[in-house]
């Protein structure tokens, strides 16, 4: 069946650049003769029938805005077969023939299930600060979040240096350590703690003995939020036990990493990916996420995108260590 009307939604955690992606999808679709409908609050809006007509002007003046004008949610109803059936009925009643879903791994898993259950053409865009989708070098929002982390660490560095203190700075990333590792490289932090590599108290001891005590009077350690790492508070406790003389401070950056105006890099990535999503649907692609590999747009099957099987390059951990000596 020929596609006439495309629905767009954003789902899961918001990420800077989602609006640039919504704009690109909308305008490229209209340029190619499709009708566009915006679905509010992610899959939740499909279930509750919050669907609005989108024109070119609906996406004016949003490329620079963080968050998502479509709002977002993590829908419980859509996880049930009844919820998805209702979503499909509402989608059909609104005349929507295909979907563009912008979100992270949970959102793309939902897209895969929905597409298989109801034979709906769906193309996904990787919208998450975590950078934890396979088959793409970067996700929309990751670069902005990294820049936010660098900015925060630069500021904390002033206090760490002045007070000669050790700081544990907790960053987001869900189950992945990309924000921690690359945030550490970019901010010149003394160490990165990531779930991909076990952190022994010994490693921290080495950091404290060889770094903090010998050549440095202050240190900043980036810690990925995670049960495995124990987060920044968990590490502080571990340090307190082993080195009671150390009064480490903790800063949890939290949701401020998800906000703010997207960087030029994220705006360009989102714009190119949004345009490519419409090309993909026109070519008859379905069940694929748009990725970027070596500066080229690629189609990544949902199954691969959400597999979490690609390995992080742990050599970069040595870079953090060598460059902060």
Which residues here bind ligand F6P, judged by CB under 6 A? 13, 104, 128-130, 172-174, 225, 258
Tokens describing residue 300? 């990544």
Identity of the residue, 17 or 173, whose beta carbon is nearer to ligand F6P in the bound complex: 173
For residue 170, the minimal CB distance to ligand F6P (Å) is 11
- Interatomic CA distance for residues 209 and 228, integer angstroms: 24
307 within 8 A of 134, measured Cβ to Cβ: yes
- The beta strand positions in the chain, using DSSP E, are 5-10, 35-39, 51-54, 98-103, 122-126, 166-171, 191-193, 219-224, 249-252, 288-293, 296-301
Place of tokens 């869900």: 174
For residue 190, the minimal CB distance to ligand F6P (Å) is 23
- Interatomic CA distance for residues 255 and 261, integer angstroms: 14
For residue 114, the minimal CB distance to ligand F6P (Å) is 20
Tokens describing residue 45? 């809006």
- Backbone dihedral region for residue 126 (phi beyond 0: left; psi -120 to 50: alpha; all else: beta): beta
Tokens describing residue 301? 């099957």
For residue 128, the minimal CB distance to ligand F6P (Å) is 5
Identity of the residue, 46 or 129, whose beta carbon is nearer to ligand F6P in the bound complex: 129
Residue 10, beta-bridge partner list: 102
User: How many C-beta atoms lie closer than 10 Å to residue 74's C-beta?
Assistant: 16
- Interatomic CA distance for residues 17 and 143, integer angstroms: 10
Identity of the residue, 258 or 286, whose beta carbon is nearer to ligand F6P in the bound complex: 258
- Interatomic CA distance for residues 266 and 64, integer angstroms: 10
Identity of the residue, 176 or 275, whose beta carbon is nearer to ligand F6P in the bound complex: 176
Identity of the residue, 235 or 253, whose beta carbon is nearer to ligand F6P in the bound complex: 253
For residue 294, the minimal CB distance to ligand F6P (Å) is 25
Tokens describing residue 217? 């009077």
Identity of the residue, 13 or 45, whose beta carbon is nearer to ligand F6P in the bound complex: 13
**Helix-then-strand count for the chain, H and E:** 11, 11
Element (DSSP H or E) covering residue 43? helix 43-47
Identity of the residue, 48 or 175, whose beta carbon is nearer to ligand F6P in the bound complex: 175
For residue 96, the minimal CB distance to ligand F6P (Å) is 26
- Interatomic CA distance for residues 145 and 128, integer angstroms: 10
Active-site residue 97, yes or no?
no
**DSSP code, position 177:** -
For residue 204, the minimal CB distance to ligand F6P (Å) is 23
Determine which one of 14, 105, 130, 134 is catalytic.
130
Active site residues: 130
């Amino acid at each position: 069946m020929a596609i006439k009307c495309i629905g767009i939604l954003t789902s899961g955690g918001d990420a800077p650049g989602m609006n640039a992606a919504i704009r690109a999808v909308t305008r490229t679709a209209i340029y190619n003769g499709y009708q566009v409908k915006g679905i509010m609050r992610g899959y939740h809006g499909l279930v509750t029938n919050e669907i609005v007509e989108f024109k070119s002007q609906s996406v004016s003046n949003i490329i620079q805005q963080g968050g998502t004008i479509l709002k977002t949610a993590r829908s419980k109803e859509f996880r049930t077969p009844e919820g998805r059936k209702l979503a499909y009925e509402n989608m059909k009643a609104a005349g929507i023939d295909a979907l563009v879903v912008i979100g992270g791994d949970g959102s793309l898993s939902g897209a895969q299930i929905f597409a298989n259950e109801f034979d709906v053409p769906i193309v996904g865009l990787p919208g998450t600060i975590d950078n934890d989708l396979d088959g793409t070098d970067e996700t929309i929002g990751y670069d902005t979040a990294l820049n936010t982390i660098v900015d925060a660490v630069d500021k904390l560095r002033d206090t760490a240096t002045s007070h000669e203190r050790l700081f544990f700075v907790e960053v987001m990333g869900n189950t992945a350590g990309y924000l921690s590792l690359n945030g550490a490289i970019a901010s010149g932090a003394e160490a990165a703690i990531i779930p991909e590599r076990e952190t022994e108290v010994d490693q921290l001891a080495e950091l404290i003995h060889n770094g903090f005590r010998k050549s440095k009077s202050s240190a900043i350690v980036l810690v990925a939020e995670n049960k495995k790492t124990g987060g920044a508070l968990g590490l502080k406790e571990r340090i307190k036990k082993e080195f009671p003389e150390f009064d480490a401070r903790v800063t949890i950056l939290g949701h401020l990493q998800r906000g703010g105006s997207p960087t030029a890099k994220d705006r360009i990535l989102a714009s190119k990916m949004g345009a490519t999503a419409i090309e993909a649907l026109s070519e008859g692609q379905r069940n694929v996420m748009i990725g970027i590999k070596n500066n080229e747009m690629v189609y990544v099957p949902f199954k691969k995108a959400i597999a979490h099987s690609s390995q992080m390059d742990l050599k970069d951990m040595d870079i953090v260590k060598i460059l902060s000596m």
